[in-house]
Structure 1
Amino acid sequence: MNAAEQADLNALLELSGALLATQSAPEVEETLTTFSVRLLKTRYALFLRYRREQNALRVTTQAGEHAAELGVVLPRGRGLSWRAALSAEPVLHVHRDTLPPEAVLLPGSPRQSALFAPLRTAAGRLLGVLTVGRIAPDFTLREETLLATFANAGTVTLERIYQAARAAATREGVLLALGLALEARDYETQGHTGRTVALAERLGCALGLEEESLDALRQGAYLHDVGKLSVPDDVLLKPGPLDPAEWTLMQEHVLTGEALVRHVPTVPPDALAVIRSHHERWDGRGYPDGLQGEAVPLLARIFAVVDVFDALTHARPYHAARSVPEALALIRAEAGQQFDPAVVRAFLKLFPAQPSGGVGAGRER
């Protein structure tokens, strides 16, 4: 292996390592443009993302020297990026002295040689175009090949990210459907699943949860009441107080829910903890295990506040809806008793200042 081949291999290894660490499309685009400038010693690099809804290419990332390319939109067929995208060739090479009429030159851009490498999946779907340019010297065949390899590596990484996003969206849809299955039994609780998922995520972000914990919190929120599918309608929808036997039956829904969801291999343990423990109390008087203080799993402590707040502010068969200020006052009054005081403080900051007061948030079935 000669020195040039070794340099190319080192460049690919370095780019591949950087792409492995990316978690989003913008990170991939930034990595491709930054490394293209540095490893190919180009004047600039641009990434034009394909926008299917507009059938256009849009400059979403830039590195090196540039004019005002960021945000430029090229409708289908306009510019050399589209010529490359519609060609079967892996790279379009344009010399600075032979720029064709369709070249798009923005004010302030000097004439320069450029390479355009489309990113296409194995199925032929266009993801974008990676383009680089420099005034001199002109690009070599070796550099064309290297940029094409960069584009292929970017395509594989973007496909991984898009597939993960599609899988997550499908999973969220399934989880939402399970939550809505319960709501279908009781018109009064319609919207509860969506509201609590959204509010739990806001509270989790306010408390500084990492993405993995936020994801588990969302999953637990979607599925927190799935065990109520086994509770008879005459108990679940009873307008008045439950008798001791009925209350015991109602309390079993958290254990039933946990047992059901435990069979879903993709649901993490922290989400199961939300399902089992969101009716535990800070003072130890909750169910099903009578856990106290920080022995109650954190995500369950977070969701408990959200769940009760939503139950208070929306009508149920067994109580009328309270106003937001009234509900917040009740939540505030239960800090250190029903709820984790630190979680309550973070929750109250999500809302404008409200008058204090109120006693007893009560229990949410």
Structure 2
Amino acid sequence: MSFTCTCYEQIQAIPYIEPALRDQRANLIAELTRIAISAPDLPSAIIPLLHHLITLAQADGAMYFEQTDTAFQICANVGQPPARPGIDHILIHGQVIDAILGQTLCTMPNVIFVDDTQVEPKAHALAQIGVSSIAIAPIYDKMHLLAGALVMYSYDPQPWSTIDATMLMLIAGELSHLTARLDRESALRQTREASLRALGLALEHRDAETKGHTDRVTNLAIQLGRRAGLDAHALRALRWGAYLHDIGKIGIPDAILQKPGKLNPLEFALIQMHPQIGLTFAQELAFLPSTALAVISAHHERWDGTGYPARIAGNAIPLAARLFAVCDVYDALTHHRPYKQAWSQEAALREIQSQAGQHFDPQLVHIFTTMLTANTP
């Protein structure tokens, strides 16, 4: 069967599929569905999908291109591109698509095939670099706008079969569904992020904190978290916990929060309740990960076990809470509060270092000191 720039709609259904091929197709559909549902991001999904594609279609390679404002940019590649002059430029700048389609991909809704690039005028550029057959499927976003393209190719002329077309269409469809799902999840995360930050800023103003404390301590904690080896998911949870670290102060009277002098024992006992109050509030936000909750509940614990509210010690204190504690105290020391003047950065860092092994995790103090020293002009 031969197709030259043919839309998938024109491909006739196969009257009979061998049982082995039918089972293979059923297994592929199940695997595609699993990937589309569970993949945390587009890159982690694309490579397995491309491997499936070239295996089932017996193609030499497959690529995924993402559309940018000016061109198609390659995002993933499986197989070995032909070792010909100019291939790098074509791969990098997306000319592998433009050489065939120009602007037509933006208007053609389905898969396009070229069985032999030697006889297709728009595909001569591909023939010159050793690609003899190519198939392209557009990928659409949640707004049904062109987001990218899935490409498979062969070095020898290959009459693409209806089964090949079906496989390519299935994978392209799943990538479109995955792109739409990830777009929705990204929008939801951004909404949550903005809401949590806004709540943190509101708490900051009520607590007579120095303006900017929430953003400063959050940014400092993220820097330290990166240096401590936290991955992207843990860093996001740390950031969310940082926004809400003092949410429990909602339950503390203003007279205590804004008292300019030293707190008496009863007042201090009430202040010590705010991590547990905060945890109670935060647990109502079902989307908050456990790492964020740990920052809220344990950022006043101390390495030596004399902190509050649970008096846990050492590595029993969650890493995110130990990490955040260093940043929170440093920011408090270096900025004015109703009960104290701001310390110099040098004096604050000396205090942090002096509390290594008592208030703070010694290893994190070392990383924090190195970080601040590196950032100091």
Shift of 1:129: 0.8
- Corresponding residue number in structure 1 for 2:80: 65
- Corresponding residue number in structure 2 for 1:31: 48
Shift of 1:106: 6.6
- Corresponding residue number in structure 1 for 2:111: 91
More displaced stretch, 77-86 vs 129-138: 77-86
Q: How many residues align?
A: 350
Q: Secondary structure at the match of 1:184?
A: helix
- Corresponding residue number in structure 1 for 2:130: 110
- Corresponding residue number in structure 1 for 2:334: 313
- Corresponding residue number in structure 1 for 2:66: 49
- Corresponding residue number in structure 2 for 1:358: none
- Corresponding residue number in structure 2 for 1:40: 57
Within the candidate set 272, 277, 282, 1:251 is matched to: 272
Which runs of no fewer than 5 residues in structure 1 stay unpaired? 356-365
User: Is 1:119 equivalent to 2:139 in the alignment?
Assistant: yes
Cα 1:139/1:283, change in 2 over 3 Å:
same
- Corresponding residue number in structure 2 for 1:330: 351
The answer on whether the counterparts of 1:81 and 1:129 sit within 8 Å (CA) in structure 2 is no
User: Is 1:153 equivalent to 2:138 in the alignment?
Assistant: no
The answer on whether the counterparts of 1:62 and 1:70 sit within 8 Å (CA) in structure 2 is no
State the Cα RMSD in Å.
3.1
- CA distance in 2: counterparts of 1:106 and 1:326, whole angstroms: 65
Q: Which amino acid aligns with 2:137?
A: A
Cα 1:137/1:293, change in 2 over 3 Å:
closer
The answer on whether the counterparts of 2:118 and 2:124 sit within 8 Å (CA) in structure 1 is no
Q: For 1:214-264, what per-residue CA distance to the aligned partner results, in whole angstroms no more than 9, with x for missing partners?
A: 443332211111122343444323333333343333333223222222222
Counting helix residues as a fraction of each chain, which structure ranks higher? 2
The answer on whether the counterparts of 1:85 and 1:129 sit within 8 Å (CA) in structure 2 is no
- CA distance in 2: counterparts of 1:297 and 1:65, whole angstroms: 45
Q: Secondary structure at the match of 2:328?
A: helix
Shift of 1:302: 1.9
Q: Which amino acid aligns with 1:47?
A: Y
Q: For 1:322-345, what per-residue CA distance to the aligned partner results, in whole angstroms no more than 9, with x for missing partners?
A: 333322221110011111223323
Cα 1:270/1:8, change in 2 over 3 Å:
closer
Within the candidate set 339, 347, 361, 2:360 is matched to: 339
Shift of 1:147: 0.6
Q: Percent identity?
A: 36
Q: For 1:58-111, what per-residue CA distance to the aligned partner results, in whole angstroms no more than 9, with x for missing partners?
A: 22222323321333157x9885274234213x211124244244x583795235
- CA distance in 2: counterparts of 1:228 and 1:47, whole angstroms: 50
- Corresponding residue number in structure 1 for 2:201: 180
- CA distance in 2: counterparts of 1:326 and 1:265, whole angstroms: 40
Q: Secondary structure at the match of 1:258?
A: helix
Mapping of residues 206-221 of structure 1, within 5 Å? 206-209=227-230, 211-221=232-242
Within the candidate set 292, 297, 300, 1:271 is matched to: 292
- Corresponding residue number in structure 1 for 2:39: 22
Mapping of residues 182-261 of structure 1, within 5 Å? 182-185=203-206, 188-209=209-230, 211-261=232-282
The answer on whether the counterparts of 1:15 and 1:35 sit within 8 Å (CA) in structure 2 is no
User: Is 1:132 equivalent to 2:149 in the alignment?
Assistant: no
Which runs of no fewer than 5 residues in structure 2 stay unpaired? 1-16, 82-86
- Tell me: higher relative CO, structure 1 or 2? Use CA pairs within 8 A at least 6 residues apart: 2
User: Is 1:350 equivalent to 2:371 in the alignment?
Assistant: yes
- CA distance in 2: counterparts of 1:348 and 1:232, whole angstroms: 36
Within the candidate set 139, 142, 162, 1:141 is matched to: 162
- Corresponding residue number in structure 2 for 1:359: none
- CA distance in 2: counterparts of 1:337 and 1:210, whole angstroms: 27
Q: Which amino acid aligns with 2:295?
A: V
- CA distance in 1: counterparts of 2:222 and 2:118, whole angstroms: 55
The answer on whether the counterparts of 1:280 and 1:288 sit within 8 Å (CA) in structure 2 is yes
Shift of 1:48: 1.5
- CA distance in 1: counterparts of 2:256 and 2:208, whole angstroms: 15
- CA distance in 2: counterparts of 1:258 and 1:19, whole angstroms: 34
Cα 1:280/1:111, change in 2 over 3 Å:
closer
Q: Secondary structure at the match of 2:343?
A: coil
Q: Secondary structure at the match of 1:105?
A: helix
Shift of 1:140: 1.9
